[in-house]
Amino acid sequence: MAELRREDPPRVVSVLSSVLRRVAELNDLAMHGRLAAPRHRASAFHVPRIPGISVHSYLERIFRHADCSPTCYVVAYVYLDRFTQRQPPVFINSLNIHRLLLTSILTAVKFMERMKETTNSSKKNTHQTEVEHDRNSHVYQPAWEPNMVSNGPLENAAARNKVEETSHEFRTILRKVFEEVESKSREAEQAMHLDHIAFKLFREKYGLGDDRKYVGSVPGVEVGDEFHLRVELCIVGLHHQHLAGIDFVNQGEKNVAISIASSGRYSDVKGKSDILIYPGSGMPNKDQTLDHGNLALKNIMETKTPV
């Protein structure tokens, strides 16, 4: 058994316990109908009775046993905040706060350990040549490999936050571009690809966004997310083709499709919303050819990779 920590808890423990205790008290009032608030539903973190130990004492006890730094507590708070905002939301109250705290801190400890391992691993590879780096960065990596998959609730929350922030920043830039062309004539505005201008400005300010290609789900992107422009799909890593409807990666000697962007203008979708009938990537008034994206789409029938 590891030796218990004897030093005094960091100040963040007191601050965190004070904030969460106040939140729990307010939600307790709402739960009993004393405050106007949305209906609170019980979750897996709820206990039948309010524990006899205070939030502050509970955090101090965790501090004695868990190897959690002040930064770790901040990460735990961020995770807890993101988790409670999920749909349906989880409201912190006296019946679930202890379990939520323990889960958040243990998740944060694991996250910090992985960050440390990643940092140490990066230091060992500092002598890798630029040629090797460029070569390795283009190697196809299946989505089920560890470095391509989110491995925990905190990483999912971080990826989700990145997607939301990236989309917000791009739309802010796009809105400014629209404002700048308001004084121009309607004909001039129609001739300009404002989304491409905004995309160029975004790249100049923030870089490429998520330029990795994923086979399967994209970290941070959820079913039901809405994107109004093709360039938004490029920024968050969903689809990297500005014009082509099929995006693909090289897998060995074959190209395999990883995503399809369907605007619906070619009657791709018919009938049910969960079925996509896609006529291929190319001009709608010409015969399709089995090459490029179309061939990559055909190849997934053999590789069984998700699109």
Residues 203-237: pLDDT tens digits? 777 665 556 777 777 777 777 777 777 777 777 77
Instruction: Sketch the domain layout of the chain as residue ranges.
Output: 11-118, 146-303
So what's the pLDDT on residue 289?
Answer: 73
Phi and psi at residue 65, to the nearest 5°? -105, -30
pTM above 0.75, yes or no: no
Q: Is the CATH number of domain 11-118 1.10.150.20? A: no
Instruction: Give the 3-state secondary structure percentages of the chain, helix then strand then coil, rounded to 5.
Output: 50, 5, 45
What is the rounded average pLDDT of the residues 60-65? 82
Q: Is the pLDDT of residue 148 over 70?
A: no
146-303, what's its fold? PUA domain-like (2.30.280)
Tell me the pLDDT tens digit for each residue of 80-123.
887 777 656 778 888 888 888 888 888 888 888 887 777 666 55
In angstroms, rounded to a whole number, what is the distance separating the alpha carbons of residues 120 and 111?
Answer: 14
User: Chain-wide mean pLDDT for the chain?
Assistant: 70
